[in-house]
Amino acid sequence: MTFASHTSVAAAKAFRLRFLLGAIAAFGLIALAIGFQHMDNLVPCPLCIFQRVAYAAAGVLFLIGALLPMRSRGARRGLAVLTLIPLLTGMGIAARHVWLTHLPPDKVPKCGPGLEYLLDSVGAGGMIRSVLTGSGECAKVDWHLLGLSMPEWSLVGFAALTLWCLLALLRGR
C-alpha cells in the first residue's frame, strides 16, 4: 500500500467516525426533544417541528457518511457540503424562533391555524411560508434548562453540529 492510498484510507475512516458521531448527536437531540415533550407535557410548535425535520435530515446525511466507504476526497467534501444545507437551514429556523421568543408581548404575531389546515388550504409552499413567519404559539416559552429555552438549545445544537461538519469537511483532505 502506498503512502497516498494509506492516507486516503485514514482520512476516510476519520471522516466516517466524525459523521457517525454527528448522526448520533443529531438523532440524540431529536430524542431529547421528544423526551422532554413527553416528560413535561410540552406541545411542539410548528417551528419546533421544522427544527426536528432539519435535525433528522442532517442525521440521515451524517449516517450516510458514516456507513459508506467515502474514499474519494470529492465524495467526502460533497457530502459534507450537502449536510451543511439542513444544518444551516435549521440554524436559521432556530434563530428565527429565538427572535420570536424575545419579542415584547405586543409585537408577538397572532396564533395561526394548525399545520394540517395550512397544508390543506394553502399547500406545502404556503404552509412553509406561514410557519417560517412564525405565530404566537412559537413565541411561548414553557421550558428552560440552565437558563436557556428549547429554541436557544436547538440553536446551540445546530451551531455545534455545523462546526462539527465543517471540521469533517476541512479535515477530510
Angle between the N-to-C axes of helices 3-39 and 150-171, in degrees from 0 to 180, rounded to the nearest 10: 170
Question: Cβ-count burial of 15 within 10 angstroms (0-12 exposed, 13-18 middle, 19+ buried)?
Answer: buried
Residue 36: which of 139, 128, 131, 154 has the closest Cα?
154
Mean pLDDT value across residues 133-156: 80
Q: Which of helix, strand or coil describes residue 35?
A: helix
pLDDT at 142: 82
Query: How sure is the predictor about 151, in pLDDT bands with cuts at 50, 70 and 90?
Result: very high
Question: Cβ-count burial of 58 within 10 angstroms (0-12 exposed, 13-18 middle, 19+ buried)?
Answer: buried
Structural domain of residue 18, as residue ranges? 3-171
Q: What domain count does the chain have?
A: 1
Model confidence over 49-85: pLDDT tens digits? 889 999 999 999 999 999 998 878 888 999 999 999 9
pLDDT at 117: 58
Query: How sure is the predictor about 105, in pLDDT bands with cuts at 50, 70 and 90?
Result: confident
Comparing 34-38, 90-94, 103-107, 152-156, the range with the smallest average pLDDT is 103-107
Mean pLDDT value across residues 130-151: 74
Mean pLDDT value across residues 31-41: 90
CATH number at residue 164: 1.20.1550.10
CB 103 within 8 Å of CB 139: yes
HSE-up of 42 (CA within 13 Å, CB side)? Answer: 22
CB 12 within 8 Å of CB 70: yes
Question: Grid coordinates standing for 77?
Answer: 467534501
Mean pLDDT over all residues of the chain? 84
d(CA 66, CA 14): 10
CB 86 within 8 Å of CB 57: yes
Comparing 19-28, 66-75, 91-100, the range with the smallest average pLDDT is 66-75
pLDDT at 3: 43
CB 132 within 8 Å of CB 99: no
